[in-house]
Copies of this chain bind each other. A is one copy, B any other.
Amino acid sequence: MPGRKASKPKNITAIETNNRPDEWRIEQGMAGAKLPIIDQTHKPTTFIHPVDPSPPGIKDAEAIEAVGDRKKLFAREIKGWEGYVEWENYPEKKAKAHKILTSQTFPPIPDYMTGPIPGTNPVLPGEDFKAWHRAIGGELTDVPDSSWDTVLKEKHKDMLHLLQFPYNGEPPKRLVTAKSITPNPLHFVRNHGGIPLIDKDKWSLTLDGLVANPKKYTLDDIMDESRFPQIEEYVTIQCSGTRRIEQIALYGGQGDEVPQAPWAEGAIGTAKYRGISLKKLIKDCGGLINGGKHLELYGAETYFKDLNAMNYLVSVPWSKVKANEVLLAWEMNDEPLPKIHGFPLRVVVLGYIGARSVKWLYRIKAIENPSIAPVQSREYLYFNQQVGKHNQRPTDGIQIQEMPVSSAIMSPWSKHVIIHNGKINCKGWAYSGGGRWPERVELSADGGFSWYEVPQENMSKKGRWTWRTWEIDLPCDVEGWIEIVCRCWDSALNTQPLTVRSAWNWGLHVTHSAHRISVYSINKTRPRTKERLALLEKLNIPLAPITRYEVVPTMTDQEIEKYWEKHEPRDADNY
C-alpha cells in the first residue's frame, strides 16, 4: 500500500522544544497532531514522533497501466445514467480499481481533529475522494466537478459546505429552524459519493434476491396508483454525525473526512415525501422466500472504503418494511426529488439514521442477514468507550438504526453577548427517532441545574416521524458568562445524557448529549448595568466586542477611599 507507507518512525529520547515557535500552543493541547506518542512501556521512556503522510503523486505507472483501459473498464453502466458505474456485479472490476488505488499515493487529509478547523467554506475540500475518482477515471472522471455544479444549482447560497466532495452540507444556524418544514434548498445533504445524473425515462429498479418473483420496475410502474397506493409523509431525516463538532472539540477520532465530517447542528431536516411503501413492492414480487429477512438497498453512487470502490449499500430489516415504515419516494415538498437528494427515486426510512435512506436507488435485494457491505457493517457503528484506534473491531459497535432523542439550540450561539431584561430568547429543534416524538423540551441557564419547560404553545406540531421546533424566553438573572443547556424528553420519556463525554465514542457518532452554549448575559434590569450602558452610550464608546478594555474607570480614587472608610479593612486584625 504505497498510499499509506511511510518512513520508519524515528524514536528519540528527549523532546526538543527550542526553536519551536508555537511551543506554548502545543503544550496547551492546541496542536495535538504535532505531539509525539509517549511510550512508557519500557525505561527510558521514548517518544514516537508524527510522520508526515506520503507525498501525493507517487505512482507505480506500470502496475496501473497493466490494469487495462480505464475508459472501457469503468464505463457508464447504463445509457442515461451519467456518473453511474456498477461495481457489485463485477468483483473483477472492483479488484482492478483496488489495484489502481493501491499503486499510488493521494493527497493527505487535513488534520481537523487535533489541528484547527479551516475557516473556509467549503470547510474541507475532499481532495482524496476527488483524486480517487480521477485515478479510477472512465465515467468517474468528471463526477467531482459535475457534483459541485449540482450543489451550486440546487442548494441555498448560504449553505455551510462542510465537505465539498462527496458533498456534505448543512444550513447556517439562522436557517435550520427558520421553518418547521425545511425548504429543499436548505435541507442538509450527506452524500457518500458523487451525484449520478439519471434520466428518469431510462431509470429502472430491480427487485431480486429472496423474493418469489424478481421484477424490474420503471418509474411509471412505481407511480401507478392503480398498482400501489401512494403515501404522503412528513419525515425528519437526521445524520448520526449531527453535532459531531462537539465530540471533535473534546477529543479527536480517526480523521477520515467522509465518515467523520465535522457536522454542526444542521445535519437534520424535515420534508414531506410522496412515494409508496416498499412493503407493497415486496408483495408485488410475491413476498419473501427462503429465509429472506432483510432488504439490501443499492445506490448508484460510487463509494470508497479502504481503497476499494463500491456502490452505496445498506439494508433494513423486513420488520421495518412490514410496518410500512420504508418508503420509496419521488417527491420532496411537492417537487420532484432534487438530483442531490436522489432523483429520480430514493428510500426514506422513517425514524432511522439517514444513512439507511438510500438515494439514486436502482436495486433492492432480499437477503437473509443484514448487509455485510461496509456502510452497514463497518461504519455507522456506536462503539463503547473502551474501543479506540488500536483495539476496535467493527463487531464491537452497535449498528445505528433508530436515532435517539436529541435537541439543539439554534439561537443564540456560543460566545454571543446578549443584553436583556431578565429573559433570554432561545430557539431550536428537538427530535427523537423510531416513531417517538419530542413531548417536552427544557432549557437551563445555569449549566443544567434548574430547568424551564418550553411552553407547549411555543412548540411546532407533533408528528410521529418529525422534529419539533421551539422557542422560549428563558429566565436569567445572572450577569456574565452563563451556560444555556437544552434537553428533550420524548414520548417514551427518554431524555438526553447531560455531557458530551457520556456520548463520546471513537467513531464520533450520535452526539445526542444535552446541547450546551456559553453566552455572556448583560442583565439590563440591574440598575448598575443599566447606568453603565447609558454612560458608554453617552461617551460614544462601542459595546462590542466586550473583550476590549475600555479606559473608563467605574470608580474614582476618592470613591474607593470613601468605600474603605465605611467598610472593614481587607486584612483582619484580632477580633
Show the binding face of A for B, using Cβ within 8 Å.
1, 3-6, 8-9, 15, 17-18, 21-33, 35-41, 45, 48-51, 53, 108-109, 111, 113-114, 116-117, 119-121, 123, 157-158, 160, 162, 172-174, 245, 250-256, 264, 306-307, 317, 319-320, 369-370, 372, 377-378, 385-395, 398-399, 401, 412-421, 423-425, 447, 478-481, 483, 501, 504, 506, 517-518, 520, 522, 524, 526, 528-529, 532-533, 536, 540-555, 557, 560-561, 563-564, 567, 569-571, 573
Contact = CB atoms under 8 A, between A and B. Distances in A.
A218 B501 CA distance: 61
Given A252-B547, A570-B401, A387 B479 contact: yes
A258 to B, nearest CB: 10
B114 A545 contact: yes
16 contacts: A4-B550, A5-B541, A24-B160, A24-B172, A27-B413, A30-B119, A31-B119, A33-B545, A37-B546, A45-B425, A108-B548, A113-B547, A388-B479, A391-B532, A394-B554, A447-B501
B418 A38 contact: yes
Contacts of A264: 24, 27-28
Nearest to A113: B547
Give the number of copies in the complex: 2
B117 A543 contact: no
Nearest to A385: B480
Interface of A is mostly: loop
A386 B529 CA distance: 11
Given A28-B245, A35-B415, 17 more contacts: A4-B552, A6-B540, A15-B174, A17-B172, A24-B121, A28-B413, A37-B543, A40-B419, A49-B544, A109-B549, A111-B545, A252-B547, A370-B564, A370-B571, A388-B480, A389-B522, A394-B555
B21 A121 contact: yes
B414 A37 contact: no
Nearest to A172: B17
Contacts of A394: 554-555, 560
Contacts of A15: 174
Contacts of A254: 546-550
Contact of A551 (B1, B25, B370, B399): B1
Contacts of A564: 369-370, 395
B39 A6 contact: no
Contacts of A425: 40, 45
A553 B108 CA distance: 19
A21 B162 CA distance: 12
Q: Closest 7 A-B residue pairs measured CB to CB?
A: A29-B414, A32-B415, A22-B119, A51-B542, A113-B547, A251-B481, A388-B480
Contact of A419 (B39, B53, B391): B39
A51 B4 contact: no
A21 B421 contact: no
A172 B117 contact: no
Contacts of A25: 117, 119
A412 to B, nearest CB: 6
A388 B560 contact: no
A517 B27 CA distance: 11
Given A377-B560, A416-B35, A542 B388 contact: no
Interface centre among A41, A50, A377, A526, by most B CB within 10 Å?
Answer: A41
A175 to B, nearest CB: 9
Nearest to A6: B542
A189 to B, nearest CB: 15
Contact of A546 (B40, B320, B389): B389
Given A447-B501, A478-B386, A119 B372 contact: no
Given A32-B415, A415-B32, A479-B388, A395 B549 contact: no
A29 B547 contact: no
